[in-house]
């Protein structure tokens, strides 16, 4: 594990996890944090893993350039995210299942810009913070996401933060 603390609060401000940023190569990520805890995204056609996981954090690489094009946290349970053995992760206030208002209150305290955007996943609410990081919430009324409501996904990608749609509401 690296001694530097990697903060999700900074991720929301910068789309970076410490030294890790979109566009970084697999070789550079391996040099910084060593071998991933898990790998995936292979098939008969694509033998080289395009997905690396360090704890709960997923890094997805473009198959043409092998550069990082997605940083992702999926929440399948109401837990605090972990950085695995390589990342000394400070989760800030983030945990799976958080209700939107609980997290948006923190964004307001930080004076961060955020928008609710049209969701690309039916039955969800999407927010973009600081124009770069997208959060996906499942409302209380939805039952199709394995029974858990609240925060289900946080990600940054090469696509701009509004990839889910045009801003519906600036808060």
* pLDDT band of 2, cuts 50, 70, 90: low
Place of tokens 């053995």: 85
Give the C-alpha separation, 53 to 36, whole Å.
6
pLDDT of residue 166: 41
Q: Give the integer Cα–Cα distance in Å for 31 and 26.
A: 9
pTM: 0.87
From the number of C-beta atoms within 10 Å of its C-beta (0-12, 13-18, 19+), residue 163 rates as middle
pLDDT band at 153, cuts 50/70/90?
very high
Beta strand ranges found along 16-65 (DSSP E): 38-40, 51-54, 57-61
């Amino acid at each position: 594990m690296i001694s530097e603390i990697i903060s999700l609060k900074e991720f929301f401000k910068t789309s970076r996890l410490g030294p890790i940023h979109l566009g970084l190569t697999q070789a550079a990520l391996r040099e910084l944090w060593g071998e991933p805890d898990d790998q995936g995204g292979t098939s008969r056609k694509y033998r080289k893993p395009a997905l690396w996981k360090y704890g709960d954090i997923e890094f997805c690489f473009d198959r043409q350039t092998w550069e990082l094009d997605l940083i992702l946290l999926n929440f399948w349970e109401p837990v605090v995210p972990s950085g695995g053995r390589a990342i000394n992760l400070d989760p800030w206030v983030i945990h799976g299942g958080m209700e939107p208002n609980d997290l948006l209150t923190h964004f307001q305290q930080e004076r961060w810009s955020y928008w609710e955007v049209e969701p690309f996943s039916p039955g969800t609410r999407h927010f973009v913070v600081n124009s770069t990081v997208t959060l996906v919430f499942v409302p209380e009324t939805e039952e199709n996401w394995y029974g858990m409501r609240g925060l289900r996904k946080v990600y940054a990608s090469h696509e701009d933060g509004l990839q889910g749609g045009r801003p519906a509401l600036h808060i």
